[in-house]
Amino acid sequence: MSLQSALEQLATYRSQNTRASQDIFEKGTLVLQKNGLKKMGDDSWAFLEQLTLAAIDVGRLDVADQCLQLLSDKFPGSPRVDCITGIRMEVTEPPEIALKYYAELLEADSANAAIWKRRISILRRIGKIDKTVTELTQYLDTFYTDVEGWLELADIYATCNQYEYSLQALMHVLLLAPQNPFHVLQAAETAYTAGDLPLSIKMFLTVIDMTDGDDSESLIESTPLGITVRAWYGVKLCAKRIARDSRLATISSSNTSPPKHVEMLDVLATERLRVVYSSSGQKGEIAKGREGVFTWVATL
C-alpha cells in the first residue's frame, strides 16, 4: 500500500471515530517507517494519538510508548495526553496505581470528564459496584447531558437486578435523546422486567410508531423489520399478561394510565408477527422460523 493511501484511510478512520485497531496499527507503522509524519503537518498529532491507542489494543506497547513520548514532548501537561498515559498505565500496572493516578489528575482538574470516566470504568472492572455507582452519579450530576453515562448507570443497575433504578436512569436517556428508538426499546424492556406493564406497552408502541414504515405506507401494507419486530413481541407479551390478570394494568410505579383496548392490541400484534414470518423474498429471510412463531402466538 502506498503512503498516500494509508494516510487517507487513517484520516477516514479518525473522522468516523472507527476503532479498527489492527488495520490502524499496520497502516500507522507504515507511515512511521516511511517518515510520513513530516507530510501530515498538524494532523500528525491526531495520528499519533490514534496509533497509540491502536498499538495498546494490539499489545505493541513499544510502539505505543514511542508515540506517547512524542505527544508528551509536544504537549506537556495536556489533559488528552494525561488520559492516554493513564490508559497505557492500565495495561501493565495494578488497578490501584491507575486509580491513584486518575485521582491526582481529578484533584487538579475535577472537570476532566475523560479522566473521570476512566476511573469509573476501572472501579466497575474490579467489582467495586457501590463505589462505581457513587462515582458515576457524582459524574452525572456534573455532566448531566452525557447519554453514555446514563446508559452505563442503567446497565449497572440492571446487572444488579435493580430494574426500577435502571428504568429511572433510562428516563434521563430518553429526555436527552428522545429520537433514538433503541433507547426507547431498552426502556420498554426494562419496564417489562420491572413489572410496569402499562409503561412497557406504551413504550413498545412508541418504538413501533417511530420505526414501522413511513408516512406514505399504511400499517397494513408495511412489513415490520428490525427492532419493530422486537417491539411487536413486547406488545404481544404485555397484552397477554394483562388479559390474563387485569390487575397488572393498574400496577405502575410510573403512574402510567392503564392501556386501552388491550384485546385489540393483542390481535394486532399477532397479525403483525404473522406478517413478518409470512413475507417472501429478501424480507422473508426472517420467515425461517415461522412455524414456531405461529404456534407461539396461537398458544400464548
The string of DSSP codes covering 88-152 is: HHHHHS-HHHHHHHHHHHHHH-TT-HHHHHHHHHHHHHTT-HHHHHHHHHHHHHHSTT-HHHHHH
pTM given for the model: 0.85
Residues 61-95: b if buried by 16+ CB within 10 A, e if exposed: eebbeebbebbeeeeeeebebbbbbbbbbbeeeee
For residue 15, the tally of other CB atoms under 10 A from its CB is 8
**pLDDT score of 282:** 47
Which whole-number Å values give the CA distances from 56 to 36, 88, 235, in the listed order? 21, 7, 45
Report pLDDT digits (tens) over 249-258. Answer: 888 888 888 8
Q: What angle do CA 12, 17, 18 make, to 5 degrees?
A: 75
pLDDT of 221 strictly over 70: no
Q: Give the integer Cα–Cα distance in Å for 250 and 295.
A: 30
Of residues 86 and 278, more confidence is placed in 86
Torsional class of 294: left (φ above 0), alpha (ψ -120 to 50), beta (otherwise): alpha
Length of the chain measured in residues: 300
- Is the pLDDT reported for residue 289 higher than 80? no
**Dihedral pair phi/psi, residue 101, rounded to 5°:** -60, -45
pLDDT, tens digit, for every residue of 73-109?
999 989 999 999 999 999 999 999 999 999 999 999 9
Residue 281: what pLDDT?
Answer: 45
